[in-house]
Structure 1
Amino acid sequence: MPQTGFNGSVSSPKVDVYVDTGSQFLNHTVDGFLKIGSVAVARAAAEETYNVVVQVHKSHLDLTKMCKEGVFFGTVAGVYVGMDYGMEKIRGTRDWKNALLAGAATGALASAVGNNKRDKIVQDAITGGAIATAAQFINYLT
């Protein structure tokens, strides 16, 4: 019996923007801001495009929302990457504990900036640490 199949690979284009600030710490932070900020803008643009297509009363994309989301998520990513790099330099090792500490600190900081109460800040710190640690473990697996 004849069989058919598909064999191939799919890859996405890779675009790297490198900003040299003269400091490795700042280089990592800016890189995180740019990469995750652009992803947040793309996500907001897709959501806004969907809203324009589906909803008749909305006739244009909300560029302000896209920019705000890009800046917010880019800032959070930049803080996380900077803290992770700083933890690595302070502790002298690169392991999952850096991700845990950096994620918890970033989650707490992002929550505190939003004028949340102490319980919510602690919850967000735990969430940030858990997500960062899980991402680090997934990175180890691949």
Structure 2
Amino acid sequence: MPSSRFSGSLSAPKVDVAIDMGNPFLNVTVDGFLKAGTVAAARSAAEDAFHIVKSGSFSSHNLEKSLKKMCKEGAYWGTVAGVYVGMEYGAERLRGTKDWKNAMVGGALTGALISAATNKSKDKVVIDAITGGAIATAAEFLSYLT
């Protein structure tokens, strides 16, 4: 009986942006901002392109709306990523070691800062800090598997 198999591997693309801000903390923060912001803007563009193709109507209003959404999403997610990598780097420098605890601290601080900037509830800030720390720690553990 004939059969076929698929063999291959997937690898994440490596994108290195070399921006020297004169300070390692600023370098990793800006790098995180640019990488996550670019991904968020591309995701937003793809989503809007899908909706435009699906509806079959393209106008300058749709294009302007899409560009504004791309900038907003890119800035938001870039800021979150920049804060996170900066906090993680800061924790690494303060602790003098590179391990999963830095991700936990960075995630918790990022969750708390972003939440405090957008919420007034202290309970929500604490919950978002716990969530940020948990997500960052899980991502760090998952990166060890690959």
Q: TM-score, normalised by structure 2?
A: 0.87
Which has a greater percent of helix?
2
Q: Would the alpha carbon gap of residues 116 and 42 (structure 1) be closer, same or farther in structure 2, given more than 3 Å must change? A: farther
Q: Would the alpha carbon gap of residues 42 and 94 (structure 1) be closer, same or farther in structure 2, given more than 3 Å must change? A: same
Which residue of structure 2 aligns with residue 108 of structure 1? 112
* Aligned residue type for 1:74: G
Whether 1:119 and 2:123 are equivalent positions in the alignment is yes
CA contact (8 A) 1:51 1:58 kept: no
Which residue of structure 2 aligns with residue 22 of structure 1? 22
Rounded to whole Å, the distance in 1 between the matches of 2:58 and 2:127 is: 36
Find 1:68's aligned residue among 69, 72, 89: 72
- Alpha-carbon offset, residue 11 of structure 1: 4.8
Rounded to whole Å, the distance in 1 between the matches of 2:69 and 2:2 is: 54
The equivalences for 1:124-139 within 5 A come to 124-139=128-143
Q: Would the alpha carbon gap of residues 137 and 9 (structure 1) be closer, same or farther in structure 2, given more than 3 Å must change? A: closer
- Alpha-carbon offset, residue 141 of structure 1: 1.6
Number of equivalent positions: 142
* Aligned residue type for 1:131: I
The equivalences for 1:7-46 within 5 A come to 7-11=7-11, 13-46=13-46
Structure 2, unmatched stretches of 5+, are: none
Rounded to whole Å, the distance in 2 between the matches of 1:138 and 1:58 is: 41
- Alpha-carbon offset, residue 47 of structure 1: 1.4
**RMSD, aligned CA:** 1.9
Structure 1, unmatched stretches of 5+, are: none
Report percent identity of matched pairs: 63
Rounded to whole Å, the distance in 2 between the matches of 1:141 and 1:118 is: 35
Find 1:83's aligned residue among 84, 87, 109: 87
